[in-house]
Amino acid sequence: MKREISLDWKEGLEFEADLDGHKITIDGPEESGGRNKGARPKPFMLLSLAGCTGMDVVSILKKMRVDVKGLHIKVVGDMEDEIPKAFLSMHVVYTFKGDDLPMDKLEKAVELSREKYCGVSAVLSKALPITYEIKTEKA
């Protein structure tokens, strides 16, 4: 199976991507010659990880019949100071919202995503360490 995206240069540092029929604008900051009309490329790596694992975890918890009222995922990427300013590591924080959430099932869902289902995690973990943290809040 193959996946494909297309990217067209608009002007300056602005590009428009077509992802499965959804238009996404990528641009640079004004101080770098862009017009700040879209997000920068590197944060999309963090977003891809959060989105991939989030979809997995929500689906797994639904199958486990865990009544989660909300989920907030934050991914923090530690980057090099010098060019190419590559990511050195990533830390994923899951904050589940609900009442009396079973921590063992939350941990299992995150583990299954990390080790079995999330393709983004599988690729990134070959290049850098990814750590995980689980928090809960009352709904």
Task: Spell out the SS3 assignment of 21-71.
Answer: CEEEEECCCHHHCCCCCCECHHHHHHHHHHHHHHHHHHHHHHHCCCCCCEE
Q: What average pLDDT does this structure show over 12-34? A: 95
Asked whether residue 30 falls in the same domain as residue 49, the answer is no
Kindly report whether the peptide bond that precedes residue 102 is cis, defined as omega within 30 degrees of 0: no
Asked whether residue 19 falls in the same domain as residue 86, the answer is no
Q: What is the pLDDT of residues 107-134, one digit of tens each?
A: 999 999 999 999 999 999 999 999 999 9
pLDDT band with cut points at 50, 70 and 90 for residue 101: very high
Domain range for residue 83? 41-137
CB neighbours of 93 closer than 8 A, spacing ≥ 6? 73, 74, 75, 76, 132, 133, 135
Q: What is the pLDDT of residues 51-73, one digit of tens each?
A: 999 999 999 999 999 999 999 99
How many domains does the structure of the chain reveal? 2
Asked whether residue 123 falls in the same domain as residue 65, the answer is yes
Asked whether residue 66 falls in the same domain as residue 93, the answer is yes
pLDDT at 42: 96
Asked whether residue 128 falls in the same domain as residue 100, the answer is yes
pLDDT at 60: 99
pLDDT at 72: 99
Asked whether residue 34 falls in the same domain as residue 60, the answer is no
Asked whether residue 71 falls in the same domain as residue 56, the answer is yes
Looking up residue 95, the CATH number of its domain turns out to be: 3.30.300.20
pLDDT at 75: 99
pTM, 2 dp: 0.94
d(CA 82, CA 34): 21
Count of helices and strands (H, E) across the chain: 3, 6
Asked whether residue 108 falls in the same domain as residue 49, the answer is yes
Cβ burial of 51 (10 Å; 0-12, 13-18, 19+) is: middle
d(CA 31, CA 51): 30
Asked whether residue 29 falls in the same domain as residue 47, the answer is no
